[in-house]
Amino acid sequence: MVNNNNNNSNVALPAGTMLFGESTSYDTASRLMDECMEHGVNFFDSAEMYPVPQSAETQGASEKMLGRWMKARARCPVAARVMPL
């Protein structure tokens, strides 16, 4: 478990990224992830499989955006699930 300054416990506080690349641009996603980390989020869930069917055109986009953001800013755990189309 990774703890940042605002979350000094061993409680998981996730944020989902499933719409990054689908309806959320990288710039918006980046600002959202910055805000999340500032407010105690300590891992991101990039699964695309919750309320909407996965799109072949955007498959993997949330993971790419998350990786780009992490490379530039922060490192934290990531949960991801993949299902074939």
**pLDDT bucket at 2, cuts 50 / 70 / 90:** very low
Closest CA to 19 of 78, 79, 65: 65
| Domain-located, residue 43 | yes
Beta-sheet strands, E only, within 22-80: 43-45, 78-79
CA nearest to 33, candidates 49, 54, 58, 14: 14
| Residues 49-79 pLDDT 10s | 655 666 778 888 888 898 899 888 867 778 7
Residue at 12 is within a domain: no
Q: Does some domain include residue 9?
A: no
Selecting among 34, 50, 52, 67, the annotated active-site residue is 50
Catalytic residue list contains 26: no
The answer as to whether 61 is a domain residue is yes
Residue 14 burial (10 A CB sphere; 0-12, 13-18, 19+): middle
Q: Is position 1 within any domain?
A: no
E-strand ranges in the chain read: 14-16, 43-45, 78-79
In a domain, 4, yes or no: no
Contact 6, 39 (CB under 8 A): yes
Mean pLDDT of the chain: 78
Instruction: Note down the domain range covering 38.
Output: 17-79
Number of domains comprising the chain: 1
